[in-house]
């Protein structure tokens, strides 16, 4: 059966996460599989590079699916986008891939962005797309705190109690924190890169760093929290609406223009 890779963008607000849910609960996976079912008799099961939680967005999610028909990739993407309307899900690109390519297991890197906006007035146009705080954080202090987390560590402190990963030990390749002008305030963007992440790891890290930026934590307390290997030592977990899966890395990019 031909295998296809889908590059997917979505607003996670209306969904209970990526993963298919019980009847009556909307999911991104369910929406795409339903659209596939209108093109070919189902059921269809698609595999994603990352199972984003309820309210989390994506600009670069990748999924793979096997279909019985030999589709032209462009026409498949166009047809899926038609049947996904009016849901906030877009198929950005479709590529035919080898049978051994798997969106999750072939991935060597995941990239996430978290958007925090600091301003007094309520957010309007970005409502549901950012985490709003009232006061501008100390970005330099957050960078100092974040430096303690980069590298190969036991991230038990920053792992959800319901995380199903076999081990809390992960390598966090980078955390980049940048500051940008925003109408009436400032936007702080956190970009995290790793081969894989634990459940709620990014939101736990950003929530902890916000405490540093607010002056409630000294930067060195982040290192103490990491060393504690205790969920109780973590700062508050930030809300999901500022989080985006922005990209997935593979040994060979299936969506490269040269393909």
CATH number at residue 232: 3.30.70.660
| Whether residue 89 sits in one domain with residue 15 | yes
Q: Which residues of the chain have pLDDT under 70?
A: 258-259
Is residue 98 one of the residues assigned to a domain? yes
| Whether residue 66 sits in one domain with residue 183 | no
Q: What pLDDT, on a 0 to 100 scale, did the predictor assign at position 100?
A: 95
| Whether residue 121 sits in one domain with residue 102 | no
Q: 48, 74, 106 — which closes off a domain?
A: 106
| Whether residue 140 sits in one domain with residue 65 | no
Q: Please tell me the total count of domains within the chain.
A: 2
Is this structure's pTM higher than 0.85?
A: yes
What's the CA gap between 255 and 95, in Å, rounded?
Answer: 7
| Whether residue 139 sits in one domain with residue 238 | yes
**Residues with catalytic annotation?**
53
Predicted confidence (pLDDT) per residue in 197-244, tens digit: 999 999 999 999 999 999 999 999 999 999 999 999 999 999 999 999
| Whether residue 71 sits in one domain with residue 122 | no
Range of the structural domain that residue 213 is part of: 109-246
Residues facing residue 47 across a β-bridge: 64
CA-based R_g, the chain, Å = 19
Q: What pLDDT, on a 0 to 100 scale, did the predictor assign at position 259?
A: 43
CATH number of the structural domain spanning residue 93? 3.30.70.580
Query: Distances in Å between the alpha carbon of 14 and those of 28, 53, 59?
Result: 9, 12, 16
Is residue 81 one of the residues assigned to a domain? yes
| Whether residue 115 sits in one domain with residue 95 | no
Question: How many C-beta neighbours within 10 Å does residue 135 have?
Answer: 13
């Amino acid at each position: 059966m031909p295998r296809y890779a889908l590059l997917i963008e979505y607003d996670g607000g209306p969904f209970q996460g990526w993963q298919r849910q019980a009847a009556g609960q909307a999911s991104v996976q369910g929406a795409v599989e339903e659209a596939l079912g209108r093109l070919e008799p189902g059921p269809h099961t698609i595999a994603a590079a990352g199972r984003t939680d309820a309210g989390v967005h994506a600009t670069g999610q990748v999924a793979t699916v096997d279909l019985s028909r030999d589709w032209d990739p462009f026409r498949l993407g166009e047809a899926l986008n038609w049947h996904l309307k009016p849901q906030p899900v877009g198929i950005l690109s479709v590529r035919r891939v080898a049978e051994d390519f798997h969106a999750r297991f072939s991935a060597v890197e995941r990239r996430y962005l978290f958007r925090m906006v600091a301003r007094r007035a309520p957010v309007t146009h970005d409502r549901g797309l950012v985490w709003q705080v009232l006061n501008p954080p100390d970005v330099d202090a957050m960078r100092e705190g974040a430096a303690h987390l980069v590298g190969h560590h036991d991230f038990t402190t920053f792992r959800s109690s319901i995380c199903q990963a076999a081990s809390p030990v992960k390598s966090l390749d980078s955390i980049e924190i940048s500051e940008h002008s925003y109408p009436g305030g400032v936007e702080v963007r956190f970009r995290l890169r790793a081969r894989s992440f634990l459940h709620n790891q990014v939101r736990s890290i950003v929530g902890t760093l916000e405490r540093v930026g607010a002056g409630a934590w000294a930067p060195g307390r982040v290192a103490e929290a990491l060393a504690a290997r205790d969920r109780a030592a973590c700062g508050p977990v930030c809300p999901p609406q500022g989080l985006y899966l922005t990209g997935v890395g593979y040994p060979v990019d299936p969506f490269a223009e040269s393909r």
